[in-house]
Amino acid sequence: MPAGRRILAALGPRKLEVARERAAGAVLLLVTPGYTRVARSILGSGAALVISQLVVLDTDAARAREAARGSLRFLAGVGGYRASFTRMGFTGADIASISDELVDQLVAWGSTGAITARVSEYWRAGADHVVLTVLGNGHHPAIDPARQLARDLASSREVIRPARG
């Protein structure tokens, strides 16, 4: 497959450099808007930057965070993600306990308005695309919140990606 048709999963600076040199861009999961800016600066303006964002459509903080912790607990056990969390400034205690701060920075949760605002943060930070993975809260399957979010985002005038210069 030609390099212009490949997107590389990349979290760290070295893999982002490889993506810049040998692919059309990179996809990142579980990063903050601040790290998205770093990734954009490494990739340069010519490469595609895709952010995969976990979301929980629930305005109750305790329920939303608990829904997010299931996925985060598993991924925090993977060395590459643990290193990525550390690069973004999370402490060993944050990672071990899947702290509220870690959840709040890595997972968009709340109303559709709050999730829309988070998506906009990633675009302003340099993302070309933001892919949403809607998590269920354990009591309800994720499909109903995903449908609600899709309807709300489709009708929202706020979800307009600003042009990158």
Closest CA to 47 of 139, 147, 164: 164
pTM of the model: 0.86
The rounded mean pLDDT for the chain is: 88
Half-sphere exposure of 93 (CA within 13 A, CB side): 2
To the nearest 10°, the Cα dihedral for 16, 36, 108, 79? Answer: 40
Domains in the chain with CATH codes: 3-155 (3.20.20.30)
- Examine the pLDDT at 45 and tell me if it is beyond 70: yes
pLDDT of residue 55: 94
Confirm if 160 and 123 have CB atoms less than 8 A apart. Answer: no
- Examine the pLDDT at 163 and tell me if it is beyond 60: no
Helices 112-124 and 143-155: crossing angle in degrees, nearest 10, is: 70
Reported as a pLDDT band with limits 50, 70 and 90, residue 138 is: low
CA distance 63 to 15: 35
Cβ burial, residue 18 (10 Å; 0-12/13-18/19+)? middle
